[in-house]
A = this chain, B = another copy of it.
Amino acid sequence: MQLRQEPQFFEMNHQLTYYECDESGHPSMSMLLSMFSMVSDAHCLFLGMDTATIQQTGGAWVITNYEGTLAKNQPTFGDQVVLGTRPLEYNRFFATREFWLRSENGQEYARVKGMFVFMNLTTRKMESIPAQLIEPFQSSQTKRIAHLRRPQDLADGKAVQADYRVRYFDIDVNHHVNNARYFDWLLAPLEREFLSQHRVATFAIQYSQEVRPHEMVTSVGHYHQGKQGLESQHQIKVGDRLCTIADFTWY
């Protein structure tokens, strides 16, 4: 299958490295989302929106939610894969985008939707999306944007918990804790036995408050056998501040 690179559809080749994969040999969730972030950046660049263009607005794109499904069969490090993304819709304040990971011959490994807002870096508040950063995608403008699924609250089940201090190397070039990194915090408390025997089937995550450098996060998870199989709900807090909620179902 040939790659398409257009305003409304963008794909790139990528060879999966071993450090994008966890112990299972398949991409870790944090690296999957990092790769999606990469293809999104490449799409912007392809349409002439480089870092300088974005910085000139005095703001930055901020992710609020992801929601996605993963196939049971996942690629292995060394594999040639294709990363893809396309804009879905937007209104004054919100924009949604779809991402996928597939094999070169079209087998789909993951499909994820993301919702973004635009933050003024001086006031640290949301502001309307600058026209020059959204129009190049030629996506549909809409009054009422379809929101992503809100992750479930903690349900009954076996509880796990761990504290993690933000490490210097969790901070990315945008000078804040990388969004993908939250997946390491969310999942690591489940521990090796669980993680080596199960794989993510679906997930939803909602970022509400930023974790800052130096802070200590508490990651809490509950898991139980639900009607559709094994499921888990998670929270990341800094003290009493609820920063992120997420849920997963598992193969």
Contacts and interface: CB of A to CB of B under 8 A. Distances in A.
Interface of A: 17-19, 21-25, 28, 30-31, 34-35, 37-38, 41, 45, 77-78, 162, 164-165, 167-169, 171-173, 175, 178, 180, 184, 187-188, 190-192, 195, 213-214
* 9 A-B pairs with the lowest CB-CB distances in the bound complex, closest first: A19-B34, A168-B188, A169-B184, A25-B173, A167-B188, A23-B171, A17-B38, A18-B173, A28-B169
A2 to B, nearest CB: 20
B21 A34 contact: no
B38 A173 contact: no
A195 B171 CA distance: 12
A13 to B, nearest CB: 10
Contacts of A34: 17-19
Contact of A178 (B19, B164, B169, B173): B19
**What is the count of identical protomers in the complex?**
2
A172 B78 contact: no
Contacts of A171: 22-23, 192
Contacts of A175: 23
Given A17-B38, A22-B172, 16 more contacts: A18-B34, A18-B38, A19-B37, A21-B172, A22-B169, A22-B173, A23-B172, A23-B175, A24-B173, A45-B78, A77-B173, A167-B188, A168-B187, A168-B188, A168-B195, A169-B184
Contacts of A19: 31, 34, 37-38, 172, 178, 180
Contacts of A164: 165, 167
A210 to B, nearest CB: 15
A105 to B, nearest CB: 21
A45 B45 CA distance: 33
A22 B167 CA distance: 11
A214 B193 CA distance: 12
A67 to B, nearest CB: 21
Contact of A169 (B77, B162, B188): B188
